[in-house]
Structure 1
Amino acid sequence: MGSKWRKAKLALGLNLCTYVPSIHDDDDNDDKGSLSSKHSGGALPSPVTPGSHGLKLSKSLSRSSKKTCSICLATMKRGDGQAIFTAECSHSFHFQCIASNAKHGNLLCPICRAKWKEIPLQCPSVNPPSGRARINDVDWAQDNALATVIRRLPPPRSNPNRNAAPFRQASEPATFDDDESLGHQLDSAQKSMSDKNYRDSGEGRAIKIKTYPEIPAVPRFNSSANFTVLVHLNAPTSVSGPNPSSSQPGLPHVTQTPRAPVDLVTVLDISGSMAGTKLALLKRAMVFVIQNLGPNDRLSVIAFSSTARRLFPLRRMSEMGRQQALQGVNSLAANGGTNIAEGLRKGAKIMEDRREKNAVASIILLSDGQDTYTISNSDGSRNQHNTRLLLPLSMHSGEDSSFKIPVHTFGFGTDHDALSMHSISEISGGTFSFIETESVIQDAFAQCIGGLLSVVVKELQLSIECVHPEVHLRSLRTGSYPNRILSSGRKGSVDVGDLYADEERDFLISVNVPTELSNPETSLLKVSCVYKDPLAKEMVNLGSEVLRIERPKVVGETRVSIEVDRQQNRLRAAEAMAEARAAAEKGNLAGATSILEKCRKALLESVSSKAHDRLCLALDAELKEMQERMASQHVYNTSGRAYILSGMSSHSWQRATARGDSTDGSSLVQAYQTPSMVEMVTTSQATLLGSPSSRRLVRPVWASGSLPKPR
């Protein structure tokens, strides 16, 4: 082959998507091969530019795909007893690994997502009866019973009945009201199974409300100005049954769950800084998202750089919709600047203009850079006070806003604008995740959609009412959830919004306790809530029992409630994080670490810490990690700021976020992962590793220890 082919082959061997030279049957024309302008699967590769000293590649690209199988991650060596398959895109795999993928209909390269014209098949003999053997330059032992057999795929047939809209549109419409109709959301068999499971779940679909006083008794003739009560909410468990369509061996058991369908818009940064590995991993993560959305879910993708464009309308992820979505994602190429505001504007417009609406709606935003079009000053400097300008006004959550679509933001790498990304998520009611290591992006997306695909409660509002005529509300400590105190302190409410299956919320209520002259107990509060069941499409009203405390004449030694103390520690740690970040932004890193150290000491003296409470241990480990990320101004700028902001987002919303280089539930900081999140992340990791034996099991922190799950 000519020099062009050798250069392209080198680049492809290093896990890069690039143009591939045309292959001619005539050997005399080898030197005349030109670079193809397209992959067969429609993937538009990222260009590779050779420098004066060869290809300039990051350390993460230095490993050749010809040395490591990207499916099982085992080394491919000469003579190790395993056959090697090399695809036409030049990526190599263990034959047994890739043949298993092809057996189940996966015809895309796991690395570059190029669609293969030739696929590997297993054959019991080294000399296949049909097809042709493809032997590359990697040797294997002679006793290997598998041979690399290739079957050429037939060209795609034209389908005159195909009514899907073409992928490439001449121009975007002025109004994005071309969303695909919701149609029949379940076929009759699935609907029967889902309805039966849902009916059989009975009271399990209702939220559970519990209240805990900080101490069970107060002396009769004593009073308290600030008495703490914990209100604990536990969302219903999703109703699951076996999914008969999930029979692929080696992957985790996937459940068929009746759930609320989702409208999802992903706003993806494809600026020049995303070129290479970042874009390849982003594509892989989006493929995972597409494959895990159901036919009732709808997806649209916005890609932005200097400008933003909609790849395809809001479309159901049926078989045809998935094909179009995969084609659109594979076509992405990185170039240009970073216009986050324009990407979000179009994402919001899709949600605003849609004709029909699924029960759940959300936007996912990923960026690795800083907006260079909206919040930069004329001299190129950044004005962080203007970060709110990145989010369209219609998406600013509040009492007067009827458009409440949460934006879950993902800061990718060490150069993204963590302050802006956190601000966008906080204003809209979403979460902010920090993806420090490139390889974690798919797991981070998996954790997010694992929650979105399990919403069981919509528009939840919690109400608190004082029972005793002399009891009044002093404060509501609810994190980022909007709250209000009404009727001269006699009533209060908290806007909780949506809850995922099995998700928990804890709010601390401060009230006064009056003296009692004769009553043996005092009735403090009555808690109730109202929410929408997204599956039954009906409003649900629930109330709890009245919270009472004992009022004896003399109280012996009393112990503070572990449940209350645990949540006081969580809020204490969250407040310390915010205070430390404010100090660090002013350059006072020593003061910031001192604030975190003081909080750690207070945690260790708490009742829950002495009881070896796992959440308390998690908070201490998290605060220690934040101290280490404030070792210098450079470390803080590159990772410390984003790590702290992601932690603040997680604790203020009581929802799991990706932080640093892992979403692994064995990490102590992931106390908010729900079972649906765990299952989706486990599926993601099993997909990446290929082999169940090498899969990391992801569990909430309380699942791996002997201590009970925190309430």
Structure 2
Amino acid sequence: MQFNFKRNFSIHRSTSVSMASSSQQEPHPLLYPYNDNDSLPAVDDKSNDGGDAPQVRIEAIPHYLALDASASISSLYVLIKLTAPPTSEFRQDLRHAPIDLVIVLDSSECSFDDSYMAHIKEALHFVIQNLGPFDRLSIVSFANQARRILPLRAMNNRGRKAAAAAAESIVVEGGSGNPAEGLKQGSRVLEERPYNDNPYASIILLSHTQQAWPICEKHLRFPIHAFGIGRDHDAVAMHAASDKSKGSYMFLKSYGAVLGAISSCIGGLFSVVAQDLCVTVAVTSPIEIKEAYTGGFKRVKSRKNSQVTIYAGDFYADQKKEFVVRIAIPRLFRENIDEFGKAPLVNIVCLYNDVVTQLSVVVKCPLLELDRPTATFLREMLEILRRIGTLERYKAGGRAYMLSTISSLKFQKATTRGDRLQKEFTTREKAFDECEAAPKKATKMKDSFIIDGNRIENWMVYKL
């Protein structure tokens, strides 16, 4: 959805930290709690029915599909793929999970762009117009100090008017910026919410100044999407804040790119479908989990190396996340093989909160099994060894048999090896069927040749 906002903005420069509107004439924020937020409107019970809501998909792929029953392996890698459903799979009324959003913006004087406040206000009006009545917005402005200029307001008609007035009231202030104080006040807005919270909350930080004060980790509870603008912003501090809060960091060369970047970020926040997703991978005894490769995501492994839990955070619609688990299979695992030559390997369960239906969801991946043939591969090797056991046998046909076997395994194709002609890959029976069905349209021709001292008949069908 695109929003075109055209307005002549007047930029007010001031060396004082006094605010221009009555909404900014609040006492010092430490003197009162942020408990004046709008309550959430009532939600239709039908929207909480998760019966037809799509779920995150899980797939487990081992890098070996089969392993001889008598063999052990110290490193078998299993790829775990998680895929969030697209928004098109949701009902129309469930495609947007309500969010609580706090925008923390830098109102200190900018040294490289005189029009930066106009771009900031344009982005604010875009956000205001695109949030829905179930979404809530708060605005915090900071220079040397930080002020909440808009409490958390529902973006209905009344809330949009209040937010637009607050956005227009922002003025440029003298002195340097203090992003740490801005984040502190923005976090308080979300932490001190007195009413039922929206299922997803986030902070957008816009700054063009250096970070002079350390950012306290307790203010990184909610995802921070940090936009560092221009050459003077503190990239290290903003990246650290977004990284620790599991948000994102974006670098913008100029304020002219703010609107496009904010619109992209809002689109991403609207597409969050799963929150606090964790994946538990468990193996059957005596298999052991040696390592889990999860990137920056937290993982916890059990003491007996039989289970690992991966905390994958939030999921956006259509998003894919992949993890790799390395396991070890001992020889004793042979006793777990069932009558079909399969052995249980990995059991995977995914748990998350559906932010659309506001329900807890459990998704189980089909049990991953490994083919453990007890004789097939040994029989192949024994046959090769028999045919190349002596120099005479090697020259007589052993070498050809071995190379034919290699060709079969390398490209996963059936081949003729000596007197062994694999029936399922021949055309002999098919030729008979076609000739019987249409004797006038086909002629069968019989040919024979000798391989390794054995006569092989080859049936081919030529269409007339």
Normalising by the residue count of structure 1, what TM-score does the alignment of the two structures yield? Answer: 0.47
**Among 157, 176, 193, which residue is 2:34 paired with?**
176
User: Which residue in 1 is equivalent to 2:9?
Assistant: 112
State the 1:543 CA deviation: 0.9
**Among 480, 490, 501, which residue is 2:317 paired with?**
501
User: Which residue in 2 is equivalent to 1:537?
Assistant: 358
State the 1:347 CA deviation: 0.7
Task: Verify: 1:359 aligned to 2:183, yes or no.
Answer: no
Tell me how far apart the structure 2 counterparts of residues 413 and 352 of structure 1 sit (CA, whole Å): 30
Match runs of 1:235-254 below 5 Å: 235-238=84-87
Task: Verify: 1:343 aligned to 2:182, yes or no.
Answer: yes
Tell me how far apart the structure 1 counterparts of residues 261 and 329 of structure 2 sit (CA, whole Å): 45
Tell me how far apart the structure 2 counterparts of residues 166 and 316 of structure 1 sit (CA, whole Å): 20
For the Cα contact (< 8 Å) 2:66–2:370, is it kept in 1?
A: yes
Secondary structure of the corresponding residue to residue 342 of structure 1: helix
User: Which residue in 2 is equivalent to 1:333?
Assistant: 171
Tell me how far apart the structure 2 counterparts of residues 480 and 524 of structure 1 sit (CA, whole Å): 26
Change (3 A) 1:408 1:543: same
**Among 46, 61, 64, which residue is 1:212 paired with?**
61
Change (3 A) 1:495 1:558: farther
User: Which residue in 1 is equivalent to 2:271?
Assistant: 454
State the 1:293 CA deviation: 0.5
Change (3 A) 1:109 1:444: closer
Task: Verify: 1:301 aligned to 2:301, yes or no.
Answer: no
Tell me how far apart the structure 2 counterparts of residues 517 and 109 of structure 1 sit (CA, whole Å): 72
Tell me how far apart the structure 2 counterparts of residues 178 and 258 of structure 1 sit (CA, whole Å): 29
For the Cα contact (< 8 Å) 1:308–1:342, is it kept in 2?
A: yes
Match runs of 1:434-473 below 5 Å: 434-467=251-284, 469-473=285-289
Secondary structure of the corresponding residue to residue 118 of structure 2: helix
Tell me how far apart the structure 1 counterparts of residues 76 and 237 of structure 2 sit (CA, whole Å): 37
Match runs of 1:137-216 below 5 Å: 167-171=23-27, 172=29, 174-185=32-43, 191=44, 195=47, 202-216=51-65
Change (3 A) 1:559 1:284: farther
Secondary structure of the corresponding residue to residue 349 of structure 1: helix
Q: Which amino acid aligns with 1:265?
A: V
For the Cα contact (< 8 Å) 1:240–1:256, is it kept in 2?
A: no
User: Which residue in 1 is equivalent to 2:109?
Assistant: 272
State the 1:225 CA deviation: 1.7
Match runs of 1:3-402 below 5 Å: 109-110=6-7, 112=9, 167-171=23-27, 172=29, 174-185=32-43, 191=44, 195=47, 202-238=51-87, 257-273=94-110, 276-335=114-173, 336-356=175-195, 357-372=197-212, 374=213, 389-390=214-215, 392-396=216-220
For the Cα contact (< 8 Å) 1:411–1:432, is it kept in 2?
A: yes
Change (3 A) 1:219 1:241: closer
Tell me how far apart the structure 2 counterparts of residues 558 and 256 of structure 1 sit (CA, whole Å): 52
Secondary structure of the corresponding residue to residue 167 of structure 1: helix
Q: Which amino acid aligns with 1:323?
A: K
State the 1:230 CA deviation: 1.0
Deviations 1:260-297 (A, max 9, x none): 21111111112212652322222211211111110111
User: Which residue in 2 is equivalent to 1:419?
Assistant: 236
5+ unaligned residues in a row in structure 1: which ranges? 1-100, 115-164, 186-190, 243-254, 375-388, 397-403, 561-711
Secondary structure of the corresponding residue to residue 286 of structure 1: helix
Tell me how far apart the structure 1 counterparts of residues 105 and 356 of structure 2 sit (CA, whole Å): 30
5+ unaligned residues in a row in structure 2: which ranges? 12-20, 381-407, 413-464
Change (3 A) 1:559 1:215: farther
For the Cα contact (< 8 Å) 1:261–1:359, is it kept in 2?
A: yes
State the 1:240 CA deviation: 7.4
State the 1:311 CA deviation: 0.8
User: Which residue in 2 is equivalent to 1:480?
Assistant: 296
Change (3 A) 1:178 1:229: same
Tell me how far apart the structure 1 counterparts of residues 97 and 330 of structure 2 sit (CA, whole Å): 46
Tell me how far apart the structure 2 counterparts of residues 438 and 529 of structure 1 sit (CA, whole Å): 41
Secondary structure of the corresponding residue to residue 288 of structure 1: helix
Match runs of 1:585-604 below 5 Å: none
User: Which residue in 2 is equivalent to 1:429?
Assistant: 246
Greater fraction of residues in strand: 2
Change (3 A) 1:210 1:532: same
For the Cα contact (< 8 Å) 1:466–1:490, is it kept in 2?
A: yes
Secondary structure of the corresponding residue to residue 110 of structure 2: helix
For the Cα contact (< 8 Å) 2:54–2:90, is it kept in 1?
A: no
Change (3 A) 1:204 1:314: closer
For the Cα contact (< 8 Å) 2:94–2:356, is it kept in 1?
A: no
Q: Which amino acid aligns with 2:293?
A: R
For the Cα contact (< 8 Å) 1:204–1:237, is it kept in 2?
A: no
Secondary structure of the corresponding residue to residue 218 of structure 2: helix
Give the length in aligned residue pairs: 360
State the 1:435 CA deviation: 1.6
- Highest relative contact order (Cα 8 Å, sep 6+), 1 or 2? 2
For the Cα contact (< 8 Å) 2:53–2:357, is it kept in 1?
A: no
Deviations 1:338-358 (A, max 9, x none): 211111110111111110211
Tell me how far apart the structure 1 counterparts of residues 121 and 361 of structure 2 sit (CA, whole Å): 40
Tell me how far apart the structure 2 counterparts of residues 167 and 559 of structure 1 sit (CA, whole Å): 73
Change (3 A) 1:371 1:167: same
Larger Rg, first or second structure (1 or 2) = 2
Q: Which amino acid aligns with 1:269?
A: D
For the Cα contact (< 8 Å) 2:342–2:369, is it kept in 1?
A: yes
Change (3 A) 1:510 1:346: same
State the 1:257 CA deviation: 4.6
Tell me how far apart the structure 2 counterparts of residues 325 and 256 of structure 1 sit (CA, whole Å): 25
Tell me how far apart the structure 1 counterparts of residues 290 and 328 of structure 2 sit (CA, whole Å): 7
For the Cα contact (< 8 Å) 1:306–1:339, is it kept in 2?
A: yes
Q: Which amino acid aligns with 1:408?
A: H
Give RMSD over aligned pairs.
Answer: 2.9
For the Cα contact (< 8 Å) 1:168–1:311, is it kept in 2?
A: yes
